[in-house]
Amino acid sequence: MARTMFDLTGKVALVTGGAQGLGAAIAASFAVHGATTVVCDIDMEAAVTTARQIINAPQTTGHAEAMTCDVRNDDQVRACVAQTVQQFGRIDVLVNNAGVHRPVDPLDWSQADVEAILAVNLLGSFYMASAVGRVMVKQRSGSIVNMSALGGGIVGLGRAGSIYGITKGGIVSLTRDLAAEWGVHSIRVNALAPGWIRTPMTRALQENAARSTRVLERVPLGRWGEPEDVAGVALFLASDASKYVTGHTIPVDGGAANVLALNDQPTE
Q: What is the mean pLDDT of the chain?
A: 93
Kindly state the average pLDDT of the residues 59-78.
98
- The model's pLDDT over 170-229, given as tens digits with 9 standing for 90+, comes to 999 999 999 999 999 999 999 999 998 988 877 888 778 887 888 788 898 989 999 999
Catalogue all structural domains in the chain, each as residue range(s) with its CATH number. Answer: 3-251 (3.40.50.720)
Of 30, 127, 164, 196, which one is the catalytic site residue?
164
Q: Look up 164 and say whether it is catalytic.
A: yes
The reported pLDDT for the residue numbered 257 is 86
Max CA pair span of the chain: 60
- Mention every residue, 6+ apart, whose C-beta is less than 8 A from residue 204: none
Pairing of β 12-16 and β 93-96: parallel
Q: Where are the alpha helices (DSSP H) in the chain?
A: 21-32, 44-56, 74-88, 111-117, 124-139, 150-153, 162-182, 203-207, 209-216, 227-238
Q: What is the pTM of this model?
A: 0.93
- The model's pLDDT over 80-139, given as tens digits with 9 standing for 90+, comes to 999 999 999 999 999 999 999 988 999 999 999 999 999 999 999 999 999 999 999 999
φ/ψ (deg, to 5) at 55: -60, -40
Query: Which strands form 93-96's sheet, in the order they lie side by side?
Result: 63-68, 36-41, 12-16, 93-96, 142-147, 187-194, 249-252
Query: What is the share, in percent, of the chain residues with pLDDT greater than 90?
Result: 78
